[in-house]
A and B are shown apart, each in its own frame.
Chain A
């Protein structure tokens, strides 16, 4: 975990530290058990190819959880992730990088909270956004 980031430290347009993932097939099996999603296209190559895929694919919900980690780690101990989302636009495969990134789109105060809206997404090695989404994070203030 990095040092605590404060509301005063950030600005619209700023990119947050990226999180780089690279799933082994073992990680996908761990995710199946942890999430309860046992659909075979995520761990059975024959089954996946029988469904017209080139091989097993990374669970969309795991990529969403990666984005949850991206914003959780950025928010730090004193921040709070109010909301995060993504759409599943493209497939990602094991043993290649999934780069999780985020950019601050709006900085505002509402209901006594210091809030940031972000665009967040996962990117494949070709630079395509395979899971674009948004998040809202509350950050602590230095003056509070």
Chain B
């Protein structure tokens, strides 16, 4: 892979690197955990049955791997995690691919938790691959619980080409 001849990374974009977005609030509730677990096909009852989860030492139903709650939705204010005001930028590429995802767990997330997520762009990289010139944006989202403790870190890469 080689570098494109012309960079699409502007000075404005470089200044975004490391800046924290506005926080997004996500609610982890029992129904959300069950819906997510059911969609994946989980069979462990800690994701479905509150009494069973408690018998295993958890506070409530456990949030299944990669479920970090549901962002609070308000009509006309459709903010998604990672696409937060202040971190948006435009590039001449039309197509978008999700490059990959990593979840790091610092603690268990349970139903009843309210998470606050902030996202920062960690790097911009440019490549020329089989799809042509592309911009790879790496982002890290930190989820803190209602006690202010960081419980999950999600790292994602977005490919624009």
Contacts and interface: CB of A to CB of B under 8 A. Distances in A.
Interface of A: 1, 21, 27, 30-31, 33-36, 60-62, 64-66, 68-69, 71-73, 77, 80-88, 133
Given A68-B103, A77-B56, A80-B105, A35 B39 contact: yes
A87 B99 contact: yes
B66 A1 contact: no
B43 interface: yes
Interface string B38-63: 11111110000000000010000000
Contacts of A36: 70-71, 80
B105 A69 contact: no
B35 A33 contact: yes
A68 B99 contact: no
Interface residues of B, number: 29
Interface of B: 32, 35-36, 38-44, 56, 64-67, 70-71, 80, 97-105, 155, 157
Contact of A83 (B44, B100, B105): B105
A88 B97 contact: yes
Contact of A64 (B38, B42, B80, B101): B101
Nearest to A51: B95
B101 A31 contact: no
B81 to A, nearest CB: 9
A49 B64 CA distance: 32
Contacts of B64: 65, 68-69, 72
Given A1-B44, A65-B64, A77-B56, A85 B39 contact: no
Nearest to B101: A64
A45 to B, nearest CB: 20
B97 A27 contact: no
A85 B35 contact: no
A83 B39 contact: no
Contact of B65 (A21, A60, A68, A77): A68
A34 B36 contact: yes
B36 A35 contact: yes
A69 B46 CA distance: 13
Contacts of B40: 31, 34, 62, 65-66, 68-69
Contacts of B38: 30, 34
Given A64-B66, A77-B56, A27 B101 contact: no
Most chain A CB within a 10 A radius of its CB, from B41, B42, B157? B41
Given A83-B102, A85-B101, A85-B103, A69 B39 contact: no
